Amino acid sequence: MNKYNRIFNFAAGPAMLPEEVLEIAKNEMMNYKNSGMSVMELSHRSSLFNDIITEAEDNLRKLLNIPFNYKVLFLQGGATTQFSSVALHLLKNKAAYINTGHWSNRAIIDARVFGQVDVIASSENESFSYIPDCSNLNLEGYDYLYYCDNNTIYGTKFKKVPNSFGIPLVCDMSSCILSEEIDVSKYGIIFAGAQKNIGPSGVTIVIIREDLINESSVYTPNILKYKIHSEKMSLFNTPPTYIIYMCGLVFKYLLNNGGIKAQEKKNIEKANYLYNYLDHSKFYKTMADKNSRSIMNVVFTTGNKELDLLFVEEAKKVGLENLKGHKVIGGLRASIYNAMPFEGVVTLVEFMKKFEVQYNV
Ligand SMILES: Cc1ncc(COP(=O)(O)O)c(C=O)c1O
């Protein structure tokens, strides 16, 4: 048994954090750098917090190789708030959206409040189980192209960045950021809620190309204006200070462990191990198209609702938690984000084998 009796948490978010990060947070909790306070109690205007947020941004820039003409913002309101913010800033005439399921659909609904939104590619015809071909979209006259890179609920992921033919490309990377190397220069805006690969819930990272910052609708409230957040270095109002500190610890941890390249290798190994078992099993079925599979969210089922529920209950008894699929599609889902150790996936597969032997009648 491990030191703290910790379980393997397969939740889609909030998700596991690296134990090394939690240890540092624990050790620094009561008196951060001789301030006589915890980070939670520090003023967001203090030099100590300034160091925390500056270092966090610098390290994120290193991890993702973010070009100088991009700003990094630490915002509140979750990834969901960005569904509106993006449209308020970029939607002038009409916007093109790729619909790959629940989260892109939510973004479409929120953007439509502000103007014309056309769904120019979709996988709705096959219950969002695949990623549509987006190599040659007709984007004439559109202000921007929007997509959700990794579809947390359906376990699908774009294998290629859609070709935006020069218009700004906006991407929701909430459930895959920091999981693989990316070329930030292909994007106008990348945003991601922290609670999967970045840190605890409560902050949303926005990486935005500078030339897109100034534009915004007259109806944009100050709290949503990228310009204000950028000028105030994410300190326009009181930011979630402790969450930013935790994200900073995660960034440092990733840098100290080989950066995104090394993390991507680990993620592929974990996902391959699980998919390989699933592909050889006659008991479990995967739900996403093989060519569109996510390496973060592995969605599968026994094909029987009662057995799926029993699976979740039995798994919990042996320390494998939160394996229930999202209510939108049911079934089972193992979210194996960055902080899930390989050992966690091996333990899951061992449990799956036993369950299969017991219930495969
Ligand atoms: C891909 C994706 N986008 C957006 C969201 C919504 O994020 P938030 O709860 O931070 O608003 C989620 C939440 O799980 C998600 O998985």
Which residue of 82, 152, 156, 191 sits with most ligand 1 atoms within 8 Å of its CB, as the best mutation to test the pocket? 152
Name the phi and psi angles at 227, rounded to 5.
-60, -45
Q: Does residue 215 surpass a pLDDT of 80?
A: no
Please provide the CATH number assigned to the domain covering 260-359.
3.90.1150.10
Q: Give the C-alpha separation, 185 to 245, whole Å.
A: 26
3 state SS of 226 = helix
Distances (CA, A) of 361 to 95, 278, 282, 302: 51, 18, 11, 12
To the nearest whole percent, how much of the chain has pLDDT over 70? 99
CB 334 within 8 A of CB 307: no
Pairwise CA distance, residues 300 & 6, whole Å = 25
Report strand pairing: 169-172 vs 189-193: parallel
36-to-55, 219, 253 alpha-carbon distances in Å: 21, 44, 25
Token pair, residue 203, equals 């902050």
Q: Residue 48: pLDDT above 60?
A: yes
Domain residue spans in the chain? 22-256, 260-359
| Number of C-beta neighbours around residue 114 at 10 A | 19
Q: Is 183 left (phi over 0), alpha (psi -120 to 50) or beta?
A: beta
Q: Out of 128, 175, 198, give the residue to mutate to test ligand 1, the one with the largest number of ligand atoms within 8 Å of its CB.
A: 175
Q: What is the pLDDT of residue 2?
A: 78
Query: Which ligand 1 atom sits nearest the alpha carbon of residue 201?
Result: 10
Question: Do 179 and 198 touch, CB atoms closer than 8 A?
Answer: no
The mean of the pLDDT values for the chain is 97
Per-residue confidence band for 99, with pLDDT thresholds at 50, 70 and 90? very high
Judged against a pLDDT cut of 90, whether residue 218 lies above it is answered with no
In the structure, what pLDDT confidence band is assigned to residue 303 with cuts at 50, 70 and 90?
A: very high
pLDDT at 329: 94
Question: Ligand 1 centroid to 79 CA: how many Å?
Answer: 5
Single out the catalytic residue among 71, 172, 270, 324.
Answer: 172
Q: Is 22-256 a domain of CATH 3.40.640.10? A: yes
3-state SS assignment for residue 283: coil
For the residues 164-180, what does the mean pLDDT come to? 98
pLDDT-derived band at 216 (thresholds 50, 70, 90) equals confident
Task: Give the pLDDT score at 22.
Answer: 98
Distance (Å, whole) CA 24 – CA 184:
30
Residues ≥6 apart with Cβ < 8 Å to 322: 9, 10, 11, 12, 335
CB count within 10 Å of CB 163 equals 14
The pLDDT score that the predictor gives to residue 123 is 98
Catalytic annotation on 103?
Answer: yes
Residue 105 pLDDT level (bands cut at 50, 70, 90): very high
Q: What is the pLDDT of residue 323?
A: 98
Name the closest-CA residue to atom 10, ligand 1. Answer: 78
Contact predicate 137/99, CB 8 Å: no
| For range 185-211, the mean pLDDT | 98
